[in-house]
Amino acid sequence: GLLDVLGATDQSNVQGETVQKLDVLANRALLHCLGSRGNVAIMASEENAEPVVVERDRAQGRYVVVFDPLDGSSNIDVNVSVGTIFSVLRREPDPEMCRPPLSDVLQPGFKQLAAGYVVYGSSTMLVYTTGNGVSGFTLDPSIGAFIISHPRIVMPPAGNVYSVNEANAGTFPEGYQRYLTHLRSGQAGRTYSSRYIGSLVADFHRTLLKGGVFLYPPTRQHPEGKLRLLYEANPIAFIAEQAGGLATNGKGRILDIVPENLHQRTSLIVGSRTEVETLLTFL
């Protein structure tokens, strides 16, 4: 029942974050389902320190799947939208089964075959891309299937909402602080509203549909950024670009970053072209 799935465990994950009970269940479910497909050789999760190898399919398995099983899980107990983020990568066969799993996982984002997320909110919605635009599907509980509801999602070229944890603004680099002042002052030629949920999937989903910008800049505590490159920033960036938006770490394109470790962190600015391009002029 609900008493067994809500709340925190007494464990921390490799990120040093408190593990929620639903984190464990979601991770277990994804590992089981993906590991049973027969064509996924390697899985990598936010909740596991190292990649998980499907030994049965290690020789010929063609795919690597990396994922955040439950993004925004700290919001679970207060009934705020959470989600699942995933990325699919191609791998070459390994008949001798001797290639280090990390060599298959550590690929730059532009090599993604597919990426997507599921947002669990007032409705359950799947948004994904295979590199030919972005599509959205909504779960119809009466038939237990996802029905296409957003056949071709295009991010507006500009918006009027920015999404950032402004409680940390005093620790952002100066360029980000000046950019936020620019948005609030009306100098951009429109009035902006601030909206921040604290769940990347939910905040990005709004940005994708309505336009604007989501920012998770470097901070004093996390000078390289806090979001994880492989299973948060890369799939979100792939979707954003396929919908006509932009995604950067403030220095370059997110999808061009060559990862050095599984849980590598990055800053992330993603959204409509107008807002992202304007931000870059402040950095």
pLDDT computed for residue 6 by the predictor: 57
pLDDT computed for residue 196 by the predictor: 96
pLDDT computed for residue 75 by the predictor: 80
Average pLDDT over every residue of 215-231? 96
- The answer on pLDDT for 7 being more than 80 is no
CATH class of 2-150: alpha beta
Average pLDDT over every residue of 170-192? 96
d(CA 151, CA 173): 39
pLDDT computed for residue 22 by the predictor: 85
Q: What percent of the chain has pLDDT over 70?
A: 94
User: What are 96-124's pLDDT values in tens digits?
Assistant: 999 999 999 999 999 999 999 999 999 99
Average pLDDT over every residue of 191-213? 97
One-letter amino acid of 169: A
- The answer on pLDDT for 3 being more than 60 is no
- The answer on pLDDT for 18 being more than 80 is no
Determine the CATH number of domain 161-282. 3.40.190.80
The answer to whether residues 147 and 138 touch, using CB atoms and an 8 Å cutoff, is yes
- The answer on pLDDT for 14 being more than 70 is no
- The answer on pLDDT for 1 being more than 60 is no
Query: Residue with structure tokens 């936010």?
Result: 46
d(CA 200, CA 247): 14
d(CA 229, CA 243): 19
The answer to whether residues 201 and 85 touch, using CB atoms and an 8 Å cutoff, is yes
Average pLDDT over every residue of 6-14? 63
Average pLDDT over every residue of 27-31? 96
d(CA 232, CA 229): 6
Q: Crossing angle, helix 234-242 and helix 200-210, to 10 degrees? A: 10
Q: Considering the entire predicted model, what is its pTM?
A: 0.94
Average pLDDT over every residue of 197-217? 97
- The answer on pLDDT for 211 being more than 60 is yes
Please report, for residues 47, 177, 188, 190, the alpha-carbon distance to residue 185 in angstroms, rounded to integers and kept in the order given.
Answer: 41, 12, 8, 9
d(CA 244, CA 273): 8
For the chain, give every domain's residue range. 2-150, 161-282
